[in-house]
Structure 1
Amino acid sequence: MSNTKYILGHFEDPDDMMHGIDRLQENNITIYDVFTPMPIHGIEDKLGYKRSRLPIAAFCFGLTGTCTAFSMIYYMLVYDWPMNIGGKPSFAMPDFVPIMFELTVLFASFGMIITYFFKNHLFPGRAPRVMDFRATDDRFVIAIDARTNPYHDKIDDLLKEAGAVEVLHNDRKYVSYE
Structure 2
Amino acid sequence: MASNKVIHALYTDDDILMNAVKKVRAAHHHIEEVYTPFPVHGLDKAMGLEDTRIAITSFMYGCLGLAVAITMMNYIMIEDWPQDIGGKPSFSYLDNMPAFVPIMFEMTVFFAAHLMVITFYLRSRMWPFKKAENPDKRTTDDHFLMEVGIHDNEDELKQLLLDTGAVEITVTEKEG
What TM-score results when the alignment is normalised by the length of structure 2?
0.85
Unpaired runs of at least 5, structure 2 = none
The 1:80/1:29 distance shift into structure 2, 3 A limit, reads same
Q: 1:140 aligns with which of 127, 139, 144?
A: 144
Is 1:7 aligned with 2:18? no
Return structure 1 stretches of 4+ with deviation > 6 angstroms.
none
1:42-94 deviation digits (Å, cap 9, x = unpaired): 22221112223232222211111110010111122333334455352332211
Letter in 2 for 1:16: I
Task: Count matched residues.
Answer: 172
The 1:9/1:56 distance shift into structure 2, 3 A limit, reads same
SS of 2:169 mapped into structure 1: strand
Percent of pairs with identical residues: 34
What TM-score results when the alignment is normalised by the length of structure 1?
0.84
Q: Hey, what does 2:48 align to over in structure 1?
A: 48
Q: Hey, what does 1:171 align to over in structure 2?
A: 173
Alpha-carbon distance in structure 1 between the residues aligned to 2:53 and 2:144: 26
Letter in 2 for 1:104: T
Q: 1:159 aligns with which of 141, 158, 161?
A: 161
Alignment RMSD: 2.3
The 1:142/1:87 distance shift into structure 2, 3 A limit, reads closer
